[in-house]
Chain A
């Protein structure tokens, strides 16, 4: 359970932010997860209740935004999704590209009272 340890890290960070901003309660946590990150969104959702159990975030909702695995082709400079195109540029079939996004695992924001 690779996700659980990481989600506990998220929960601790959010509690720290909530305390330092003197928030009474947190309504929603918004995460951004890249398609190439090793985190699987459904597993994150599944272990989230265990991670917040007994904390001030027990009633908090979790929202996840997925960031695409986009790369720019070094030959024709088109942007394409490397998962959907099996790491090959669909425009010129080049396989030399630079990754633009997809490895992120970010706490984007919290919505709180």
Chain B
């Protein structure tokens, strides 16, 4: 007769990722590298916004970019044309990055002498919000054509980010997009969120966004 016994484990499956994320954040702090986790839907303009950001900041800080996609390296090619250090990560079907994959990406990027590393997460408003990557700060882009109802549909994403960029603001006249409603809905979920309307195409708002990054990088290296 087989004898069975029950072993209590009581361990949260996300706990391991949270521990890895905290560990990575501590290491980045020691190395004085500010890591931004950038999230959004596909097609919101993450890569175009990154190119603008790099053009604005590349003379004052060393920047490295990690492009995470399920497949292809079109985004890495676009970024490489700016002369910035870039690495393409393939998630092999996974819809998000976790702290371990972020660590692998950073070691491939070689963070020596980097001031700012930006992780362009997989285009998705659901899963990336669930997994701490170990980033210093989290950012998301919502673009005008996606609609002003997104904070209602994807509340977790809006509640965990430090900064919300509202992109394609130059096209607001063509869409029924209520900017005030988005700001109200996002602040209800996340009272401390910073909201910056931008246009990666015309450059509107990019100055304010670059100031936010400069300021956050400075604070990260101080404390």
* Chain A residue contacts of B17, Cβ below 8 A: 9
Which residues of B from 79 to 126 have beta carbons under 8 Å from A?
A: 93-96, 98, 126
* Residues of B that sit less than 8 Å from A by CB: 2-14, 16-17, 93-96, 98, 126-127, 130
Minimum CB–CB distance for A105 against chain B, Å: 5
Inter-subunit contact B7/A38 (CB<8 Å)? no
The 9 closest A-B pairs by CB, nearest first: A107-B9, A2-B127, A105-B13, A109-B8, A38-B130, A2-B95, A110-B7, A111-B6, A107-B11
Contact call A106/B5, Cβ cutoff below 8 A: no
Q: Which of A96-113 contact B (CB under 8 A)?
A: 104-113
Q: How many A-B residue pairs have CB under 8 A?
A: 66
Question: Which among B4, B11, B14, B98 is the interface contact of A111 at CB below 8 angstroms?
Answer: B4
Bound-state CA distance A68–B128 (Å) is 23
Q: Which residues of A have CB within 8 Å of B7?
A: 17, 21, 23, 109-112
Interface residues on A, range: 20 to 34
Complex-state Cα separation, A60 to B12, whole angstroms: 20
A1–B93 contact, CB under 8 A?
Answer: yes
Q: CA–CA, A104 to B11, complex, Å?
A: 10
Sample (30) of A-B pairs whose CB atoms are under 8 Å apart: A1-B95, A2-B130, A4-B93, A4-B94, A5-B94, A5-B98, A6-B13, A9-B16, A9-B17, A10-B13, A13-B9, A13-B11, A17-B7, A21-B7, A23-B7, A27-B4, A38-B126, A38-B127, A105-B14, A106-B12, A106-B13, A107-B9, A107-B10, A107-B13, A108-B9, A110-B7, A111-B4, A111-B5, A112-B4, A113-B2
Measured between beta carbons, the chain B residues less than 8 angstroms from A110 are 6-7, 9
| Inter-subunit contact A2/B8 (CB<8 Å) | no
User: Do residues A104 and B94 form an inter-chain contact, with CB atoms below 8 A?
Assistant: no
Complexed CA–CA distance, A112 and B3 (Å): 8
Point out the residues of chain A lying under 8 angstroms from B94, CB to CB. 1-2, 4-5
Known A106-B12, A113-B4; 4 more pairs at CB < 8 Å = A2-B126, A5-B98, A9-B16, A113-B3
Task: Please name the residue on chain A nearest to B3 by beta carbon.
Answer: A113
Q: Inside 8 A of B14's CB, which chain A residues have their CB?
A: 105
Shortest CB-to-CB span from A78 to chain B, Å, is 23
A109 touches B6 (CB 8 A): yes
B214 to chain A, nearest CB (A): 34
Residues of chain A contacted by B98 (CB below 8 angstroms): 5
